[in-house]
Amino acid sequence: MAKKGGKSVAKKRRRLPALIKDMGACMFKKPFTQQYPFVKVEAPEGYRGRHTFYPEKCISCGLCERDCPANAIELIEVSGKRMPHFYLDRCIFCYLCEEGCPRQAITLSKNFEMSTTETKELLVTPKEFISKPKATSEEGKENVA
Ligand code: SF4
Ligand code: SF4
């Protein structure tokens, strides 16, 4: 048994120079991690983030509400028109509301910054887009409630 332990110590000693060499090399390499949130990170193309809504395109058909598998959409009247409200605390970001909308009134932006302790901040309402009718998926970032 003592012989086995001795072998193992010798093995470890042999690995030490290689380990020190690797450590030295790593110290001068660029870091793999990004300094988020100090440095903004761009989500990849096709990312399903916070919803962007185009009120002027919506025809109040209710398909988004009907198709949502998470029961995260509710049509509520705003400015005389029934429009979807999105409850992101229930949303599973499946994309079905965007795919099913016959008027392309919903798009999912690349905005992934939705962490909050307030449930009410996870409600996306048409009102926030009525004042910014030309919102794009990129601008969805600015439309955080
Ligand atoms: S957002 Fe699209 S699917 Fe939903 S009610 Fe409006 S038009 Fe219909
Ligand atoms: S992304 Fe999916 S779960 Fe979220 S609101 Fe749209 S249909 Fe519902």
Nearest ligand to the CA of 84 is: 1
Mean pLDDT, consecutive 10-residue stretches, the chain (145 aa), reads 63 83 85 87 93 97 98 96 97 96 97 93 94 51 42
d(CA 64, CA 60): 9
CATH class of 51-141: alpha beta
Distance 53 CA to ligand 1 centre (A): 9
Note the pLDDT of residue 1: 47
Backbone angles phi, psi at 84, to 5 degrees: -75, 140
d(CA 86, CA 101): 14
| 53 touches 81 (CB < 8 A) | no
| 84 touches 75 (CB < 8 A) | yes
Q: Per-domain residue ranges for the chain?
A: 51-141
Ligand 2 pocket test, pick from 95, 104, 137 with the greatest ligand atom count within 8 Å of Cβ, gives 95
Q: What is the arrangement of strands in the sheet containing 81-87, beginning at the earlier edge strand?
A: 73-78, 81-87, 123-124
Q: Whose CA is nearest to atom 6 of ligand 1?
A: 58
Residue 46, C-beta contacts closer than 8 angstroms, at least 6 positions apart: none
In tens, the pLDDT along 3-34 reads 556 677 777 777 888 899 888 888 888 888 88
Sign, CA torsion 37/91/72/129: positive
Q: Whose CA is nearest to atom 3 of ligand 1?
A: 101
Distance 103 CA to ligand 1 centre (A): 7
Q: Which of 118, 3, 109, 131 is nearest to 56 (CA)?
A: 131
Q: Which of 105, 103, 70 is nearest to 87 (CA)?
A: 70
Note the pLDDT of residue 3: 54
Note the pLDDT of residue 145: 36
